[in-house]
């Protein structure tokens, strides 16, 4: 038995926006810097773990995001039956990471204590802090708590051998990243601990933020957890699709393999 895993990034949605919208303090370049939306499949010898569950077409419409392919289609393209998935890891509870909440009827959901406390506590009294959350998503997670389908992590935890979660905070109070042992070393799925490569490279911060200091400290943590800088995968960067090879012929621009060496 090996604890090495394959990792797939599955793009499901897209949002065209100006570069200035991606950074506190804006950006001097008047160019588009779009976001892509992903879920990730972490595949071991006997099972697949899913990191984040995305949003559905109705939520995409409500939020003005372009749905490319529903999440379940991406999973099926990899031969993953959502109904058989037993483990979902939730990076944080923003609408684009924790929707589709009926897609995995057998799964237990791993999340940080702090994220559930944050999403159900006093900060949600403030409209400014509620913006990236959807109450139905939060209620769905509360229901999972009451049916024994939530598993709480506090800081650092091993999910299965070779896959661990690590609290980062910053962008959301209980945000966690995921470290995966692969054939090319330890790959770190940052999720929203780094939206774009540009955030990591320039030390700048995405505007939706609970705590700026934790965001920039988080960049260091991501790098420490990863085998190299090239092993950190940001959560919303279209460049991920360009840098990594397609999972299979025909899946170009949709699903890429992150345990393969990046191109160039």
Nearer to Zn ion, 181 or 195 (CB): 195
| Closest CB to Zn ion among residues 44, 199 | 199
Nearest CB to Zn ion, comparing residues 131 and 213: 131
Rounded least distance, CB 221 to Zn ion, Å: 17
Instruction: For the CB of residue 2, give the shortest distance to Zn ion in the complex, in Å.
Output: 31
DSSP the chain: -----EEEEEEEEEE--BGGGGSTT--S--SB--EEEEEEEEE-SS-EEEE-----HHHHHHHT-EE-S-HHHHHHHTT--GGG--EEE-S--STTTS--TTS-TT-EEEEEHHHHHHHHSGGGGSHHHHTT--HHHHHHHHHHHHTT-EEEE-SEEEEETTEEEEE--SSSTT-EEEEEEETTEEEEEEETT-SSHHHHHH----SS-S-HHHHHHHHHHHHHHSSSGGGEEESS-THHHHHS-BSSTT-TTTEEETTSPPP-
| Between 38 and 254, CB nearer to Zn ion | 38
**Least Å from the CB of residue 183 to Zn ion:** 27
CB of 191 to Zn ion, least distance (A): 7
Interacting residue ranges for Zn ion, rule: CB under 5 A: 94, 96, 192
Q: Which residue is nearest to Zn ion (CB)?
A: 94
**Contact assessment for residue 16 and residue 22, using Cβ atoms and an 8 Å cutoff:** no
CB of 250 to Zn ion, least distance (A): 27
| C-beta closer to Zn ion: residue 68 or 260 | 68
Choose between 94 and 231: whose C-beta lies nearer to Zn ion.
94
Give me the least distance between CB of 231 and Zn ion, in Å please. 20
Taking Cα atoms as reference points, which of 156, 56, 161, 172 lies closest to residue 110?
156
Contact by Cβ (8 Å): 56, 42: no
* Closer residue to Zn ion in complex, CB, 163/194: 194
Give the whole-angstrom CA distance, residue 40 versus residue 50: 6
Minimum distance, C-beta of residue 174 to Zn ion, in the bound complex (Å): 11
């Amino acid at each position: 038995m090996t604890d090495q895993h394959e990792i797939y990034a599955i793009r499901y949605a897209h949002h065209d926006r100006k570069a200035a919208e991606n950074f506190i303090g804006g950006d001097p370049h008047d160019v588009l810097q779009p976001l892509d939306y992903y879920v990730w499949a972490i595949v071991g010898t006997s099972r697949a773990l899913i990191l984040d569950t995305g949003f559905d077409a109705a939520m995409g419409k409500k939020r003005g995001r372009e749905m490319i392919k529903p999440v379940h289609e991406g999973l099926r393209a990899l031969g993953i039956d959502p109904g058989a998935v037993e483990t979902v890891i939730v990076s944080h509870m923003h609408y684009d990471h924790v929707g589709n909440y009926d897609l995995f009827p057998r799964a237990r959901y791993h999340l940080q204590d702090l994220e559930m406390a944050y999403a159900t506590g006093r900060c949600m009294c403030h409209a400014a802090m509620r913006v990236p959350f959807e109450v139905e998503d939060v209620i769905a997670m509360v229901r999972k708590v009451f049916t024994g389908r939530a598993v709480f992590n506090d800081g650092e935890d091993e999910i299965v051998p070779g896959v661990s979660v690590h609290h980062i905070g910053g962008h959301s109070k209980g945000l966690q990243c995921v470290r995966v042992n692969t054939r090319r070393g330890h790959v770190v799925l940052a999720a929203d601990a780094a939206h774009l490569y540009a955030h990591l490279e320039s030390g700048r911060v995405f505007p939706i933020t609970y705590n700026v200091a934790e965001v920039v400290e988080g960049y260091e943590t991501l790098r420490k957890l990863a085998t190299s800088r090239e092993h950190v995968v940001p959560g919303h960067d279209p460049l991920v699709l360009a840098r990594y090879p397609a999972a299979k012929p025909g899946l170009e621009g949709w699903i890429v393999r992150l345990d393969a060496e990046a191109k160039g």
